[in-house]
């Protein structure tokens, strides 16, 4: 399950093949596209600088959250794999 960093809403579609890091990368592409259009529309250098800093902060936050989720996701996958191996061995 991915939390959308772009909209702040949960995406309830589960994708077992998509890791939190992959999800973050996809969401960050959308975020960069949105900020690019906002940067083009900004009328002053200060607005552009503030938007750039805001984008960098959001990308950094998304990366930190994704790293934490990735650890949990990998641990869960390892636990599931261990249970499957245990069942297969019996």
- If one counts every other C-beta atom within 10 angstroms of the C-beta of residue 89, the result is 6
Residue 74 CA to residue 14 CA, distance in Å, equals: 16
Domain boundaries, the chain: 2-89
pLDDT of residue 15: 54
pTM reported for the whole predicted model: 0.72
| Interval 26-78: pLDDT, tens | 999 999 999 999 999 999 999 999 999 999 999 999 999 999 999 999 999 99
């Amino acid at each position: 399950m991915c939390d959308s960093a772009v909209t702040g809403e949960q995406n309830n579609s589960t994708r077992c093949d998509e890791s939190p890091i992959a999800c973050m990368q996809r969401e960050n592409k959308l975020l960069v596209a949105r900020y690019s259009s906002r940067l083009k529309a900004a009328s002053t250098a200060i607005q552009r600088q503030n938007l750039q800093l805001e984008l960098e902060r959001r990308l950094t936050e998304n990366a930190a959250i994704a790293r934490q989720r990735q650890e949990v996701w990998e641990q869960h996958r390892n636990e599931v794999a261990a249970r499957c191996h245990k069942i297969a061995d019996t």
